[in-house]
């Protein structure tokens, strides 16, 4: 099955579940940027429940700016805040120390464009989970593609969440479909079994 997905910052588990069964995953690079989506945000498990993390972007001049032209902003010291949120939320999880060195470089100012940042994070997570989807980027925008399964946000991924160990589950209960880092830091190499 070939799928079409939006670019995403530390996408939810359901996104990776779809990637795991896809023959080819086309990552949309030509759609218009849409605010308040997983394109530049993720949700992790914090001590008080779900905690959203947002990568700030430079507001485009053109409201119809393609996602591939969206630049990351350095506003608000977000890299430091996101890294500290990940350490605080998952520092006591079974696999945070194991993967810490893989994620730390993503919180240093090396990326200018959001799609490049998301792509490199996606490739890192796929490698750590041990899935090898054929990833390609779109060259042109198609509103209703006929040759792929369109899973661009806000599409709902075909996913049935299976509970797994979470750091704050005693307090909050199981929180389904959080960012993939939640599963990765809590389940490590067993993450592939849950996908």
* C-alpha–C-alpha distance, residues 96 and 9, integer Å: 18
Q: What is the pTM of this model?
A: 0.94
pLDDT averaged over 10-residue windows placed end to end, the chain, 195 residues:
95 95 94 89 94 94 89 92 97 97 94 97 97 94 90 80 92 93 97 93
**pLDDT value at residue 49:** 93
DSSP helix/strand/coil, 193: helix
Model pLDDT, residue 64: 84
**Residue with token string 């905690």:** 51
pLDDT at residue number 159 = 81
Distance of CA 193 to the CA centre of its chain: 19
What pLDDT was estimated at residue 62?
83
Please say whether the beta carbons of 178 and 15 come within 8 A.
no
Look at residue 36 in the predicted model and tell me its pLDDT: 83
- Cα–Cα distance measured from residue 54 to residue 41, given in angstroms and rounded to the nearest whole number: 4
């Amino acid at each position: 099955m070939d799928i079409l997905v939006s670019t995403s910052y530390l996408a939810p588990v359901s996104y990776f579940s779809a990637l795991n069964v896809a023959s080819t995953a086309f990552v949309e690079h030509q759609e218009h940027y849409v605010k308040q989506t997983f394109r530049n945000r993720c949700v992790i498990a914090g001590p008080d429940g779900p905690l959203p993390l947002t990568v700030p972007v430079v507001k485009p001049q053109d409201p119809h700016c393609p996602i591939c032209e969206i630049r990351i902003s350095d506003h608000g010291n977000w890299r430091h805040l996101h890294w500290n949120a990940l350490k605080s939320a998952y520092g006591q999880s079974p696999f945070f120390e194991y993967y810490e060195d893989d994620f730390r470089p993503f919180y240093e100012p090396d990326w200018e464009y959001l799609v490049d940042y998301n792509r490199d994070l996606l490739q890192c997570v796929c490698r750590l989970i041990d899935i090898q989807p054929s990833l390609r980027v779109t060259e042109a925008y198609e509103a209703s593609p006929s040759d792929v399964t369109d899973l661009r946000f806000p599409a709902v991924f075909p996913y049935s969440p299976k509970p797994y160990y979470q750091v704050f589950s005693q307090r909050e209960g199981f929180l389904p479909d959080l960012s993939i880092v939640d599963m990765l830091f809590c389940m490590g190499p067993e993450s592939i079994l849950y996908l």
